[in-house]
Amino acid sequence: MIEVRPFNQLGGAHHGWLNARHHFSFAEYHDPARMNWGQLRVWNDDEIAANSGFPPHPHRDMEIITYVREGAITHQDNLGNKGRTEAGDVQVMSAGTGIAHSEYNLEGETTKIFQIWIMPTEFGAAPSWGAKPFPKGERAGSFVTLASGIDEGSDALPIRASARLVAATLKAGQQAEYRLESGRKAYLVAAQGRYEVNGVAAEARDGVAIRDVEVLSFTASEDTEIVLVDVA
């Protein structure tokens, strides 16, 4: 099954400084048919105005991945971690027993992010945070693992979940494949571009929910940047 969820049909809210679209039920947006996709609980498409952001707030027992599409986001938490994550790079926060953090756009332009929450397989662990650059040139034409809880020994950022976050940048006409193990699901969103997956067309910021398909074959109609989560 491959189901396209068009961007213009997503839930959302506009707070002035924040223009948010929700692929799954979140905050005041509730759709009982879109509560999660396997262990994937949240995929928010956020546009954060210059010199604004999320003030300190708490989380616990959730793996929270931030993929920066444009601009940069600056993180600070009560553990003393602080970092600036730029476009194309990724930060991961394992909330564990509890963490309080802020996320601000300290840039002079709008910052655009995907924020992805995955339910953990390990509870009660110490909270942690990390970030890593992933140059787009290194994932040209193929999928590269950015964060994972199922690839031991990889260079990916670790998460405490039966999940993997991958990304690929494809030129117009370029093709790539991704394989799902039996019983697993995928959810993917293109940060930019237009493409087909197994012949099904999708555009930038559309959600694509996939299950019961083992080989995903992608063809880019124009230059495309795909972000995919593989979950149990």
The answer to whether 57 is annotated as binding is yes
CA distance 154 to 115: 22
The CA distance from 70 to 61, in Å, is 28
The answer on whether 59 is annotated among ligand-binding residues is yes
The continuous run of DSSP H or E covering 202 comes out as strand 200-203
Give the torsion sign (CA, 86, 161, 187, 15). Answer: negative
Grouping H, G, I as helix, E, B as strand and the rest as coil, residue 5 is: strand
Q: How far apart are CA 125 and CA 98, in angstroms?
A: 9
103 annotated to a ligand binding site: yes
The alpha helices in the chain, defined as continuous H runs, are none
- Structure-derived torsion over alpha carbons of residues 17, 21, 24, 26, reported in degrees to the nearest 10: 20
- Which residues sit in the known binding site for Fe cation? 57, 59, 101, 103
- Which residues sit in the known binding site? 57, 59, 101, 103
